[in-house]
Structure 1
């Protein structure tokens, strides 16, 4: 196979980090059994998500969260599986946590962490500290980028990842409306890359988790509190137009040379009121 196999999870999130951690490990084992190289989880899964499961960070035992995370890291090494895991990441008091995605390699190490840059009004005023940097990482020759939930409303983040060479954008979220899906499909088609959406089971009535192709169509959908396994293959002939034609041409078009070299000097061009 010239591609890479990934798993996208749709678990139910609870306020109990032990229960959440056990569910993560169950789904990791399922992903590995399906020969996935990477498994993606929703926003805020391990710790519980603020505004939903968490009303006050004082109610969260971050020692338990850390212990569960260490078990997940150990299992990632055992299964030789990359894991992208949503959780609050505690900072030094009195600073509020980041809303984060841990990138755990198949050696069981945290190799990077994405901190949500554009938090909602409630998040930034009551619950979280913002991040400021994009995160990209490579697995088996494929480049992944990370975004979280409400960041879907900021198109420049998604075009930034296209310029960084991302082939699959891992979008972990806790959506509140169904238009979220339309935006995700649009970004996949506009940027000509895959978008993998991992959402909690609680939001399945709005849309399912799944993998969106670079042409904006679904490649796979999750059913229930489970996961789906799908392949990314840049040599797929069905994706020739978005991957091999549209994306390179759009990149060239944005540089502008193909237009600047064809600029004309003509009074009928500069006079915009003529017929």
Structure 2
């Protein structure tokens, strides 16, 4: 019997104010729930903003806690982009938090490949891949410039991942071409979550395992939510 899962991919305005970001994201979570989504996928830095080490950690923690509480209340999974604090003087990670439908932080993905500017001034690189399973579908996580590292995508395909949740903050139209290629070569769905302001270069949306968009958000810089049903009966067989 085919398995199906509805995911909601976020294209949200992102500011340097965690409270403003959190309020917007929770509104989108409620909308996703109303539309029947089981998982909500958010951009890189969705909660914290993309501010490097200059973070007010207390309000950021409060917003993440409210997002987790709402995930539990709605019974949906959330993958939320945020900075992750390390012990000073270490710079933070750029991370994706995996929050279960019980409101529990079950894992965290830290961006492993950093462009020179981020590596030198903003972030500490992560080390490990992350996978998790929702309703029989296995997900992998990647961030931003990692779209240009095919071996990371191949490793997820070899691990049997069905869908890669790719969050980005970059304003680079080449990322769209690369993401579509990665979907086709891994034969997996790719959910692309970006800030609204960069949607002219690459919108939020979901790419099918054939490399074509199944649905996208607007390209006009506005907030959006893209809903797609994953259906394992259409997945190609990997050799």
Q: Same fold (TM over 0.5)?
A: yes
Q: Provide the rounded CA distance (Å) in 1 between the counterparts of 2:65 and 2:204.
A: 26
Q: Find out whether 1:73 has 2:71 as its counterpart.
A: no
Whole-angstrom CA distance in 2 between matches of 1:191 and 1:204: 24
Cα offset for 1:207? 1.8
In structure 1, what is the Cα distance between the partners aligned to 2:33 and 2:133? 18
User: In the aligned structure 1, how far is the partner of 2:98 from the partner of 2:34?
Assistant: 20
For the residue of structure 2 that corresponds to 1:196, the secondary structure is: strand
Structure 2 counterparts to residues 170-181 of structure 1, below 5 A: 170-181=165-176
Partner SS for 1:24? helix
- Give deviations 1:148-180, integer Å, cap 9, x for gaps: 000111110000000111000000001231011
Query: Over the residues paired in the alignment, what is the CA RMSD in angstroms?
Result: 1.1
User: Shift of residue 101 of structure 1?
Assistant: 0.2
Q: TM-score, normalised by structure 2?
A: 0.96
Largest Rg, 1 or 2:
1
Corresponding residue for 1:94? Answer: 89
> Within 2, Cα distance between the matches of 1:2 and 1:177?
34
SS at match of 1:29: helix
State the distance in 2 between where 1:84 and 1:30 align. 16
Does the residue aligned with 2:14 lie in a helix, a strand or coil?
A: coil
Structure 1 residue aligned with 2:201, among 206, 223, 241? 206
- 2:144 matched to 1:149? yes
Contact 2:206 2:215 in 1 (8 A): yes
The number of aligned residues is: 235
Equivalences for residues 65-144 of structure 1 within 5 A: 65-144=60-139
Structure with more of its chain in strand, by fraction: 2
1:100-142 deviations in Å (ceiling 9; x for gaps): 0000000000000000000110111001011000000000000
Partner of 1:16: 17
Structure 1 counterpart of 2:159 = 164
Tell me which stretches of 4 or more aligned residues in structure 1 moved more than 3 Å.
Answer: none
After TM superposition, give the deviation of residue 205 of structure 1 in Å.
1.3
In structure 1, what is the Cα distance between the partners aligned to 2:171 and 2:12?
16
